[in-house]
Homo-oligomer: A and B are copies of this chain.
């Protein structure tokens, strides 16, 4: 029995998120159906994260056990052919040790949140960013972003319904990126050892409130330490969120 890891990317627009559910088609369901057909055995996959409906992945890692003898370098092409559509793509496959688990072996993740900051709506950005029509103060947002770095109790930045033992997380970096060549695009990049439910979207919503002047960069520390969800900003919409990278120890998984 092999343990196989896949690196995939997907446009989440037409999916009810990653994880199997009754009420809509999910990425997990599509991958399991194709793998089960292709490998002629019942395949259950384990994903690195449970992305919400409409959220995208530039890199998503999953693993599954299989008896297959298909050479792994051929697997991405074979799966992509069977998927037969354009919104999920398998990029690479690797054999991993028996105890590898895409979710629990991950040492951290990086997310990107995209904002389209213009009074003009852009059809090419609509499914891949949050349209914020009022001018944002990027410099103030940059200052605020730094305050999220470090180890904190992030319970003010967690949606109700999370059920983890601890709400302490370590944010390795939180940056606001803006380039004068594309002045309407603002990106937020956040890397952490792990994330609470909706944490990135609530941080993004809070940073936008800093950008509009409703909150200041100086208030962020208090919002974090108050541990009160009502102190933080709104939950930014899912279409702007991209899982960008999943980190594993090099001896565990290297692409």
The reply to whether B9 and A122 contact each other, CB–CB distance below 8 Å, is yes
- The distance from the CB of A80 to the nearest CB of chain B, in whole angstroms, is 6
Q: Which residues of B contact A56 (CB under 8 A)?
A: 124
Chain B residue at minimal CB-CB distance from A57: B123
A121 at the interface (CB under 8 A from B): yes
Q: In the complex, which residues of chain B have a beta carbon less than 8 angstroms from the beta carbon of A196?
A: none
Contacts of A123 in B (CB 8 A): 9-11, 86-89
Contacts known (A80-B121, A121-B80); A126 close to B87, Cβ less than 8 A: yes
Which B residues lie within 8 Å of A89 (CB)? 120-123
Verify if A169 is at the interface (C-beta below 8 Å from B).
no
Contact partners of A127 in chain B: CB under 8 A: 86
Q: Which A residues from 36 to 72 make CB contacts under 8 A with B?
A: 56, 58
Residues of B within 8 A of A58 (CB): 124
Total interface residues in chain A, CB < 8 Å = 20
Chain A residues 122 to 153 lying within 8 A of chain B, measured CB to CB, are: 122-124, 126-128
For A120, the chain B residues whose CB sits under 8 A away are 76, 89, 91
Q: Is the CB of A126 within 8 A of B86?
A: yes
Residues of B with C-beta under 8 A to A122: 9, 89
B residues in contact with A76, CB < 8 Å: 120
Kindly report which residue of chain B lies nearest to residue A126, judged by CB atoms: B86
How many angstroms between the C-alpha atoms of A91 and B122 in the bound complex?
Answer: 9
> Which 8 residue pairs of A and B lie closest in terms of their CB atoms, listed nearest first?
A86-B126, A11-B123, A87-B123, A89-B121, A89-B123, A91-B120, A10-B123, A11-B124
Residue contacts A-B, CB under 8 angstroms, 24 given: A9-B122, A9-B123, A9-B124, A10-B123, A11-B123, A11-B124, A11-B126, A56-B124, A58-B124, A76-B120, A80-B121, A86-B121, A86-B123, A86-B126, A86-B127, A87-B123, A87-B126, A88-B123, A89-B120, A89-B121, A89-B122, A89-B123, A91-B120, A124-B128
